[in-house]
Structure 1
Amino acid sequence: MPSLFVSHGSPMLALDDSDNAAFLAELGQVLPRPKAILVFSAHTDLSGKVRITSSEAPRTVHDFYGFPDALYQVNYPAPGAPKLAGEVADLLQTAGFDAELDDQLGWDHGLWTPLCRLYPEADIPLVLVSIDSRQGASYHYRLGQAVKSLRADGLLVLGSGGISHNLGELFRRPGDPQKVEKMQSFVNWIADKLSQGDLPSLLDVERQAPYARFNHPSIEHLMPFYVALGAGQGDGVNEATKPPLRLHQSIELQILALDTYAWLE
């Protein structure tokens, strides 16, 4: 199965017609059907231990405000996978992470909004694993490396976040007159470094990438990208990356880039 990074954009992805919604719906039709999906979402960002959903039926969490009532009625009743959760915990602990099962965590909207489009039947078992944006890119790359073996067992590794994510700029008046150029420079840098196989630069994104802080005033939405990258690569941080496929590009509200990448090898 692939290792996949999806930029989920607004929670309205679950309801509104958009280029991103149409793309994800089509992608769900052409991907091999996974036995289960291991999700790393920007919206379960927790410090300390890595937490892993272990309930048989986690609830749908509406972790946002100010949206239409219809969005709060959306339910994504995909089953949990307690046995798989235990296997994930073992893999992470073997890799040196302090990981624990959590039967109280639910499906955050970083999980269910793209999965509403990818797999609307909600019939594929899921496990959600927390990120920790305080730890940075290399930590999340290692998370991906720790679970990459599951791909060979028919599991899809899914990172859900955003390749750019400056919500504050959307409401700032007056806004930055160079906001579009700053977004595009950053997004192009990511694409270029991926195509060049330049893993050290990618892992040093906050220092090296142009306008990194502008595009990610807080870094949590970029961290699932690094999990997907780690799950798509060989061992080590000094070898060249395998270039992923850039499956989709679109822009919402001028500066929210919605790139999707897939690592297939």
Structure 2
Amino acid sequence: MPSLFVSHGSPMLALDDSDNAAFLAELGQVLPRPKAILVFSAHTDMGGKVRIASSEAPRTVHDFYGFPDALYQVNYPAPGAPKLATEVADLLQTAGFDAELDEQLGWDHGLWTPLCRLYPAADIPLVLVSIDSRQGASYHYRLGQAIKSLRTDGVLVLGSGGISHNLGELFRRPGDPQKVEKMQSFVNWIADKLTQGDLPALLDVERQAPHARFNHPSIEHLMPFYVALGAGQGEGVNEATKPPLRLHQSIELQILALYTYAWLE
């Protein structure tokens, strides 16, 4: 199965017609059907131990405010996968992570908004794994490396976040007159380093990428990208690797870059 990174953008992805929503709906039709999906979402960002959702039927969490009532009525009743959750915990612990099962962890909107479009029937078992944005890119790359073997068993690895994610700039008055250029410079740098197979540069994104702090005032939305990258790459950080496919790109509200990348090998 592929390793995917999707940019989920606004929670309204679940309801509104948009280029990103249409793309994800089409993608769900052409992907091979996974036996389960392992999700790393920007909205389950926790310090300390890696938390792994292990309930058979996690609840749908509406972890946002100020949206239309219809969005709070959305339920995504996909089943959990306790056996797979245990396998994920074992893999992470073997790789040196302090990981534990969590029966209370529910489906955050970084999980269910794109999956409403990809797999609207909500009939594929899921496991949600926490990220920790305090740990940075290399940590999340290693998370992906630790669970990459599951892809050969029919498990789709899905990182859900955003290539750019500066919500504050959307409401700032006056805004940065160079905001569009700063966003484009950053996302182009990511694309170029992927094409070049420059993994060390990618893992040093906060220091090397142009306008990294502007595009990610807090870094949690970029961390699932690195999990998907780790799950899609070979071993080690110094080798040149085959770049992923960029399956989709669109821009919302001028500076929210909604890109989807897929690692297929």
TM-score over 0.5 for the pair: yes
Q: Secondary structure at the match of 2:133?
A: coil
Deviations 1:202-255 (A, max 9, x none): 000000000000000000000000000000001111111220000000000000
Q: Distance in 2 between matches of 1:182 and 1:12?
A: 25
Q: Distance in 2 between matches of 1:240 and 1:60?
A: 40
Deviations 1:123-164 (A, max 9, x none): 000000000000000000000000000000000000000000
Q: Distance in 2 between matches of 1:161 and 1:7?
A: 5
TM-score scaled to structure 2, two decimals? 1.00
Structure 2: where are the runs of 5+ without partners?
A: none
* RMSD (CA atoms): 0.3
Q: Secondary structure at the match of 1:195?
A: helix
Q: Distance in 1 between matches of 2:248 and 2:35?
A: 24
Question: Which residue is equivalent to 1:8?
Answer: 8
Q: Secondary structure at the match of 2:262?
A: strand
Deviations 1:39-68 (A, max 9, x none): 000000000000000000000000000000
Structure 1: where are the runs of 5+ without partners?
A: none
* 1:73 CA drift (Å): 0.1
Question: Which residue is equivalent to 1:242?
Answer: 242
Question: Which residue is equivalent to 1:219?
Answer: 219
TM-score scaled to structure 1, two decimals? 1.00
* 1:70 CA drift (Å): 0.1
Q: Secondary structure at the match of 2:156?
A: strand
Q: Distance in 2 between matches of 1:7 and 1:153?
A: 25
Q: Which moved more, 1:82-91 or 1:233-242?
A: 233-242
Q: Distance in 1 between matches of 2:239 and 2:125?
A: 33
Question: Which residue is equivalent to 1:30?
Answer: 30
Q: Distance in 2 between matches of 1:242 and 1:10?
A: 31
Q: Which moved more, 1:96-105 or 1:233-242?
A: 233-242
Q: Distance in 2 between matches of 1:242 and 1:234?
A: 9
1:76 aligns with 2:80: no
Q: Distance in 2 between matches of 1:82 and 1:263?
A: 26
Q: Distance in 2 between matches of 1:35 and 1:170?
A: 39
* 1:75 CA drift (Å): 0.0
Q: Distance in 2 between matches of 1:254 and 1:128?
A: 30
Q: Distance in 2 between matches of 1:79 and 1:242?
A: 34
* 1:108 CA drift (Å): 0.1
Q: Which moved more, 1:82-91 or 1:240-249?
A: 240-249
Q: Secondary structure at the match of 1:51?
A: strand
Q: Distance in 1 between matches of 2:41 and 2:71?
A: 19
Q: Distance in 2 between matches of 1:41 and 1:122?
A: 17
- Aligned residue-pair number: 265
Q: Distance in 1 between matches of 2:46 and 2:52?
A: 11
Q: Distance in 2 between matches of 1:75 and 1:154?
A: 25
Q: Distance in 1 between matches of 2:183 and 2:25?
A: 26
Q: Secondary structure at the match of 2:40?
A: strand
Q: Distance in 2 between matches of 1:134 and 1:242?
A: 28
Q: Distance in 2 between matches of 1:224 and 1:241?
A: 19
Q: Secondary structure at the match of 2:91?
A: helix
Q: Distance in 2 between matches of 1:54 and 1:85?
A: 6
Q: Secondary structure at the match of 2:134?
A: coil
Q: Distance in 2 between matches of 1:206 and 1:240?
A: 20
